[in-house]
Amino acid sequence: DGGITQSPKYLFRKEGQNVTLSCEQNLNHDAMYWYRQDPGQGLRLIYYSQIVNDFQKGDIAEGYSVSREKKESFPLTVTSAQKNPTAFYLCASRGQARYYGYTFGSGTRLTVV
Amino acid sequence: DAKTTQPPSMDCAEGRAANLPCNHSTISGNEYVYWYRQIHSQGPQYIIHGLKNNETNEMASLIITEDRKSSTLILPHATLRDTAVYYCIVRVAEYGNKLVFGAGTILRVKS
C-alpha cells in the first residue's frame, strides 16, 4: 500500500544535540511538508519542498533544517538552536492536481530530556 | 492566521448524525475547503474536500453554502470511533499551497 512512513515514532534528545526525523513516501508525490504540533494546538508549517533539491521555509523554520535529495525522502533535522523542540512532528505529501489534499504520516513525538 | 472558524467542541449521541459547522468568510473563489480529523497522537486523516458543490463519500458529506462563506461536515451515523478533533481548512496559494490548520472542533461521540 502507498503511504508515508515516519520514523521513529518516539524520540528522546538531550539538550544540545541535533536529531534527524525520517519521512519517506512511496506515493510519487512531488510536494512534501513538515509540520509541528504542540498540545491542544493546530499544526504549524516548518519547511516544505515542491520538487527535488528545492525547499522553502515555512512559518517556524528557525532551529530546523531539511534536505530533499530524493523525491521519496524529506528528512527534518532539529538542531540545538531550536529552543523548545519538544513537540509532535508530522510529515505530509501532496499530489500535483490542484485540488489534492495532503497525506500525512503517523508522526514522531520528540522529547528533550 | 487560520482562515476558518470552528466551535471548540461538540457532543453527539452514538448513531445520530454529527453536523460540524465551519465559517470561512474570506475564502477566495478558487480555494477548496478540506476536512481532516485527528485522533490523539496520530497523523490527520483526510475526510473530504469541496469547491462549491455539495460532496459525499463513504465517510461523510460536505455541504457548502451558495456564497461559500461557510460549510458543514456531516457524519451520518456517528460511532464512538469518530471521537476526534476535526479540522476545516482552506488551502493557501502561497507557501507551496500549505494547509492552514486552526484549533479544530473536538467531537465527542457518547453512547
Rounded to whole angstroms, the Cα distance separating A50 from B97 reads 9
Mean pLDDT for the stretch of residues B85-111: 83
CB contact under 8 A, B98 and A50: no
Predicted confidence (pLDDT) at residue A98 exceeds the cutoff of 80: no
**B51 contacts in A (CB within 8 Å)?**
99
Quickly state the pLDDT bin for B73 (edges 50, 70, 90).
Answer: very high
With cut-offs at 50, 70 and 90, classify the pLDDT of residue B61.
very high
Cross-chain Cβ contact B96/A48 below 8 Å: yes
Q: In chain B, which residues have their Cβ closer than 8 Å to the Cβ of A111?
A: none
Residue B103 has pLDDT above 90, yes or no: no
Record: contact A101-B99, CB cut-off 8 A: yes
Over range A70-96, report the average pLDDT: 93
pLDDT above 80 for B93: no
Contacts of B104 in chain A (CB under 8 A): 42
Residue B80 has pLDDT above 60, yes or no: yes
- Considering only the beta carbons, identify the residue of B41, B87, B96 that sits closest to A107: B41
Average pLDDT over residues A8-37: 93
Q: Which region holds residue B89: left if phi is over 0, alpha if psi is between -120 and 50, else beta? A: beta
Cα gap B98→A3, rounded to integer Å: 19
Residue A86 neighbours by CB under 8 Å, 6+ apart? A110, A111, A112
| pLDDT for residue B91 is more than 80 | no
Residue B66 has pLDDT above 70, yes or no: yes
User: Which of B41, B96, B104 is nearest residue A42 as measured by Cβ atoms?
Assistant: B104
Nearest CA in chain B to A102: B46
State the average pLDDT over residues B102-111.
Answer: 93
Residue numbers in A near B88 (CB within 8 A): none
The whole-number pLDDT of residue B28 equals: 81
- The pLDDT of residue B95: 61
Q: What is the pLDDT of residue B102?
A: 80
Shortest distance between the Cα of A46 and any Cα of chain B, in A, equals: 11
Binary contact (B98, A94; C-beta < 8 A) = no
Q: Please state, for a pLDDT cut of 70, what percent of chain B lies above it.
A: 93
The mean pLDDT of A34-57, rounded to a whole number, is 92
pLDDT exceeds cutoff 60 at B2: no
Ranked by mean pLDDT, the top range of A68-77, A80-89, B32-41 is A68-77
How many beta-carbon contacts under 8 Å exist across A and B? 62
Minimal CA separation from B42 to chain A, in Å: 5
CA distances (Å), origin A37, targets A26, A56, B43, B82, B102: 24, 19, 10, 21, 11
pLDDT band at residue B94 under the 50/70/90 scheme:
low
